[in-house]
Amino acid sequence: MSEFLAGIPGPLALIAAAAVLFAESGLVVGVFLPGTGTVLALGLLAGQGVVEVWLAAVCASAATALGCQHSFYRGRRGGLLRRELVKRFGEERLTRLESSLDGRAEVTVAVSQCFAAVRTLVPRLAARTDMTHLRFTLCNLPVAITWATTLVLLGAWSGDAYERVETLAGLAGLPVLAVAAAVALGIWWLRRRNRIRA
């Protein structure tokens, strides 16, 4: 991605990166797009003076957040993704998956921003729960801005170590996922214990 963006002028690089990031978080095809690599590449260009760092951060944050908003909106309307998931998992399993988000949708939405593919699918699944649009935005927007800005700054400061930083950035979400899984497991265990006592 860095080679592709480096070959075009600064304003066009911003537009191309924004298009990729919007599609990566907002469209089903985004599962196959390099979101993290795109933000890091944009930061690398900012570090080389091709674009301003602040502009790259704003562009990446806005494109990612808007993509997630679009994904949530599409989830409210159902459509192709739900039909594909029903075909793959069955109606009963998908309903269980959607209901499992109830009560912890906020944590799931926030953590999902750190992971490729999950970032594309979770807003659509969250839209199928009782989560309101405002709650979704309050959970997603700060994390999307933090995620994009951090990766732009890492890309800008990485210089020759860009490829190493890209690999580490892909792995950085694993501790967050582990903590979120531990919290979810703890909540599940407490609820189960309370049900048994009742």
pLDDT digits (tens, 9 = 90+) for 23-38: 998 887 887 888 888 8
pLDDT tens track for 36-85: 888 888 888 888 888 899 999 999 999 999 999 998 988 887 655 556 66
Q: Is 0.95 surpassed by the pTM of this model?
A: no
- CB 169 within 8 Å of CB 154: yes
pLDDT number for residue 172: 46
Q: What is the mean pLDDT of residues 12-31?
A: 88
User: Based on the number of CB atoms within 10 Å of its own CB, is 80 exposed (0-12), middle (13-18) or buried (19 or more)?
Assistant: exposed
pLDDT value, residue 181: 47
List the structure tokens of 135: 């709650």
Residue 163: closest CA among 47, 8, 1, 17: 1
**Does the structure show a pLDDT above 80 at 185?**
no
List the beta strands (DSSP E) in the chain.
Answer: none
Determine the straight-line distance between the first and last CA of the chain, rounded to whole angstroms.
Answer: 55
Q: Which CA distances in Å does 50 have to 1, 35, 142, 190, 198?
A: 15, 20, 27, 52, 63
